[in-house]
Amino acid sequence: MRLILAFVFFIIPNILWAEDLSILSYFDKFYMAFSIDKLSERDYNSLINMEDSPFTMVNYDVNPPEPMPDYPTYKDMLTLENSVLFNGSTGKMYFLDFLKSAGLVSDSKSHIRIVRYKSNKNEYTYTLKVNSSGKIVINFNVIASIPDTDFVSETSCDYFFIKDDLQLLKLRKINCAG
């Protein structure tokens, strides 16, 4: 009976705590790596494992928004300018701030699931959609007014952070529409 109680009170919480630490450790490293303009090849290899795809990100730092330049691979793109992954430097700044607000970075005390930001005529919304032991999905949505019109530009992206068979969390997929 004591063995069962020890297992329930000491072993299981430690396993769950270690799980949380690996996620916090990953996002601490992600936060630091993306806090600068270019991603090192080493950081890319440890943080990201995505197949290259033909989608084009949109730069919401300019008005009206414009397509980002195309790059042969994600690694090429991110080692030259990592804000492309977040639709511009403003989107990157808000994404990193959201990681803190959602409690995914170790120095955060907050656990907010939805955060909205306004910048000029753009509205950015970040939502923590899934937070399970092996998968974290963050949705990013931006709406931008088009100057001198009644139209808006909107993009929505889901960022999938998923553990592999070795239990390594990495950014594995981004789905965008808009």
**What is the pLDDT averaged over residues 46-73?**
78
Q: Tell me the whole-structure pTM to 2 decimals.
A: 0.81
H/E stretch holding 59: strand 58-59
- Sketch the domain layout of the chain as residue ranges: 2-177
* CA nearest neighbour of 68 among 50, 55, 52: 55
Banded pLDDT at 11 (limits 50, 70, 90): very low
Contact 99, 30 (CB under 8 A): yes
pLDDT of residue 37 exceeding 60? yes
Mean predicted lDDT score pLDDT of the chain: 83
* Percent of the chain clearing pLDDT 70 (strictly above): 87
**What is the pLDDT averaged over residues 85-107?**
91
Banded pLDDT at 18 (limits 50, 70, 90): very low
Top pLDDT among 5 and 59 is at 59
- The contacts of residue 148 (CB under 8 Å, 6+ apart) are none
38-51: per-residue pLDDT in tens? 999 999 999 999 88
Quick one: 143 exposed, middle or buried, by C-beta within 10 A (0-12, 13-18, 19+)? Answer: middle
122-170: per-residue pLDDT in tens? 999 999 998 887 899 999 999 998 888 889 989 999 999 999 888 899 9
What is the reported pLDDT for 7?
43
Weakest-pLDDT range from 21-25, 54-58, 108-112, 117-121 = 54-58
